[in-house]
Amino acid sequence: MKGKTKTAARSASVRTEADALGPKSIPLNAYYGVNTVRALENFPISGLRAHPRFIEACLIIKKAAALVNKELRLLDAKRADAIVKACDEILGGKLRDQFVVDVFQMGAGTSFHMNVNEVVANRAIEILGGKKGEYDKIHPNDHVNASQSTNDVFPTAIRVAARLYLEAFFPAAAALAKALLAKGKEFDAVVKAARTHLQDAVPIRLGQEFTAYGRAIEKALDQIRDAAKGLEELGMGGSAAGTGLNTDPDYPAKVVKIIAKETGLPFQCAGDLREAMQSQGPIAHVSSALKNLAVELTRLCNDLRLMASGPATGFAEIHLPPVQAGSSIMPGKTNPSMAEMLNMVSYQVMGNDVAITMAVQAGQLELNVMMPLMAFNLLFSIEILTNALQVFTDRCVKGMSANKDRCRRYAEASVAIATVLNPLLGYAKVAELVKEAVARGKSILDIVKERKLLPPEKIREVFDVQRLTEPGVHT
* Active-site residue flag, 309: no
The mean pLDDT of 201-213, rounded to a whole number, is 97
Give the tens place of pLDDT for each residue, 18-48: 999 999 999 999 999 999 999 999 999 999 9
Percentage of the residues of the chain whose pLDDT score is greater than 70: 97
Give the tens place of pLDDT for each residue, 288-297: 999 999 999 9
Q: Point out which residues pair with 195 in neighbouring strands.
A: 200
Question: pLDDT at position 3, please?
Answer: 43
Question: pLDDT at position 11, please?
Answer: 65
Sign of torsion over alpha carbons 40, 43, 44, 45: negative
Question: pLDDT at position 120, please?
Answer: 98
The mean pLDDT of 198-223, rounded to a whole number, is 97
3-state DSSP call for residue 4? coil
Q: Which of 287, 380, 391 is nearest to 339 (CA)?
A: 391
Alpha helices in 229-336 (DSSP H): 251-263, 273-278, 281-307
Q: Is the pLDDT of residue 1 over 50?
A: no
Give the tens place of pLDDT for each residue, 89-123: 999 999 999 999 999 999 999 999 999 999 999 99
The mean pLDDT of 416-445, rounded to a whole number, is 92
For residues 174-205, b (16+ Cβ closer than 10 Å) or e, as one string?
Answer: bbbbbbbbebbeebeebbbbbbeeeebbbbbb
Confidence of residue 2 (pLDDT cuts 50, 70, 90): very low
Question: Burial of 405 by CB count in 10 Å (0-12 exposed, 13-18 middle, 19+ buried)?
Answer: exposed
Alpha helices in 72-149 (DSSP H): 77-91, 110-127
The mean pLDDT of 274-295, rounded to a whole number, is 97
Q: Is the pLDDT of residue 6 over 60?
A: no
Mean pLDDT of the chain: 95
Confidence of residue 9 (pLDDT cuts 50, 70, 90): low
Give the tens place of pLDDT for each residue, 223-246: 999 999 999 999 999 999 999 999
Question: pLDDT at position 473, please?
Answer: 82
Spatial separation of the C-alpha atoms in residues 47 and 376, rounded to whole Å: 13
Confidence of residue 8 (pLDDT cuts 50, 70, 90): very low
Q: How many helices (DSSP H) and strands (DSSP E) are in the chain?
A: 16, 9
In Å, what is the CA distance from 415 to each residue of 69, 193, 474?
76, 10, 17
Q: Which residues contact 252 (CB under 8 A, 6 or more apart)?
A: 236, 237, 238, 244, 269, 273
Q: Is the pLDDT of residue 5 over 80?
A: no
Question: pLDDT at position 235, please?
Answer: 97
Q: Is the pLDDT of residue 4 over 50?
A: no
Q: Which of 149, 327, 328, 346 is labelled catalytic?
A: 327
Q: Is the pLDDT of residue 362 over 60?
A: yes
Spatial separation of the C-alpha atoms in residues 307 and 323, rounded to whole Å: 17
Spatial separation of the C-alpha atoms in residues 157 and 57, rounded to whole Å: 5
> Could you tell me the pTM of the whole model?
0.93
